[in-house]
Structure 1
Amino acid sequence: MQMKRIYFIRHAEAQSGNGSDFERTLSYAGELCAIKLGEKLRSLGLAPDLIITSSAIRALHTALIIANALDATKRVASLRELYDIGLWDLAKFVRSLDDIRFFECSVNVEKYNAVGLSSEKHRDANAENSAFKSTKIPASISENNAISCNNVEISSTDVVQNFNAAGAECVFIVGHNPTIGGICSLLGEKEIDKFPPCSICGLEFDIHKFSDITDHSGRMVMLQRP
């Protein structure tokens, strides 16, 4: 039987501030933690077929750092819906992955202020983790179950690749608490009481389709907290 693995990741620590919560950037400590997590996942040989992230800056930046470490920057899908999604809607989204296609669109991600590292000294020491300038980020979900580009002007040549999530065996989902921690308890074999920033929980399911996932059916294959 085909196995499906989903790694749920909470974004790394963000800066505090009085501005928009959606636009909060990672703190220096958060950047370091995301880099370390990416290096850890690379050392384990993990190769995600698809990385789905909230489009909030702190989540998107975390996802890009990890994707870069895993040579998976062209497999990132950014969804506004994951920013404030509730637990039951996230569970419904996971079970609907068989029916969703993700389109990669050419977008200048530097306009999000979510690429590169805030510390010039650290960037120089970790140059491989700042190579996000050519990363292509999709946008949000449309009525026909396809992830399409919105809020940007694109031409037909901008759509360079699409992903059918149904064929994915390993998916990363980067989001926010309490939902991202709660989904691990809902779908996993045991309750997770704490899920601080930059935590990751990997669940493995003995299923052929994402729609076959049931509550508490996931075998925990990884749980790492900073």
Structure 2
Amino acid sequence: MKKLYIIRHAKSSWKDSSLSDFDRPLNKRGRVDAPLMGKVLKGKKVSPDAIISSPALRAKTTAQNIAKNINFTKPITYDENIYEANDDTLLYVMKKLNKEDSVVFIFGHNPGLNMLAESLVGLDENIPTCGIVEIEFDCKKWSEISSKNAKLISFDYPKMYS
């Protein structure tokens, strides 16, 4: 079994128009929602073997914040392929994961994460900022993941808890 947590970055700020999209930080709500969702995951006793994230500041900050809240102490992997990726690219990234890792978090962006969740488990809802889609795969290697062996386990987002 493999388990994937698709996590959209927390709400970002558009306040500084001189910043590139890549360098946008979290806004006030994002700085509240990321630790909240970390606590939700900790309450569910979720413990990933690996965390992989887009290197964009808002995704990176969300990943670091959630990692801190669940006491994840390993290094986070930042993969530039995740930034502005479509579902095919994200699936390619997933299929290259270490086969020893059973539970993985991926932090990224829409619309790619929406497309990935829809292609794997038919989720046709928007993944809101800091939303978490939990998918279980009935296979032994990440290279074998597909919609044929995927099952939606949960779909959480900050407004469910506030």
Length-normalised TM-score, structure 2: 0.91
Q: What is the aligned-residue RMSD (CA, Å)? A: 1.2
Instruction: Name the aligned partner's letter for residue 206 of structure 1.
Output: D
CA positional deviation for 1:217: 2.9
Task: Show the counterpart of 1:105.
Answer: none
CA distance in 2, matches of 1:91, 1:216: 14
Indicate which of 127, 142, 149 corresponds to 1:210.
Answer: 142
Matches of 2:144 and 2:134 in 1, distance apart?
17
Using the aligned pairs only, state the percent identity.
33
Could you give the per-residue CA deviations for residues 115-160 of structure 1, whole angstroms, max 9, x where no partner exists? xxxxxxxxxxxxxxxxxxxxxxxxxxxxxxxxxxxxxxxxxxxxxx
Q: What residue identity is the alignment partner of 2:138?
A: D
* Residues 3-14 of structure 1 aligned to structure 2 (within 5 Å): 3-14=1-12
- For the pair 1:176 / 2:109, whether they are aligned, the reply is yes
Q: What CA distance in whole angstroms lies between the structure 1 residues aligned with 2:27 and 2:99?
A: 35
Q: Secondary structure at the match of 1:196?
A: coil
C-alpha distance in 1, partners of 2:149/2:99? 19
Deviation at 1:89, TM superposition (A): 1.3
In the aligned structure 2, how far is the partner of 1:55 from the partner of 1:171? 17
Cα distance between partner residues in 2 of 1:176 and 1:83: 7
Post-superposition shift, 1:59?
Answer: 0.2
Hey, which bits of structure 1, 4+ residues long, moved more than 3 A? none
SS in 2 for 1:177: coil
Question: Which ranges of structure 1 fall in alignment gaps of 5 or more residues?
Answer: 98-164
Which residue of 2 is the match for residue 69 of structure 1?
69
**Residues 1-60 of structure 1 deviation map (CA, whole Å, 9 limit, x = unaligned):** xx1000000000000031211010000110100010000100110000000000000000
Shift of the 13–216 alpha-carbon distance from structure 1 to 2, 3 Å rule, reads farther
For 1:73 and 1:64, the matched residues in 2 are separated by: 10
In 2, Cα distance between equivalents of 1:91 and 1:181: 12
The separation in 2 between residues aligned to 1:26 and 1:216, in whole angstroms, is 36
Q: Please, which runs of 5 or more residues in structure 2 have no aligned partner?
A: none
- How far did residue 222 of structure 1 move? 1.4
**Structure 1 residue 216, shift from structure 2 partner:** 4.9
1:220 equivalent in alignment to 2:140: no
Give distance in 1, aligned partners of 2:127 and 2:42: 21
Letter of the 2:135 counterpart: L
CA distances 1:65-106 after superposition (whole Å, capped 9, x unpaired): 000011114241112221122221111221222xxxxxxxxx
Give yes or no for contact 1:185–1:216 (8 Å, CA) kept in 2: no
1:15 to 13, 16, 25: 13
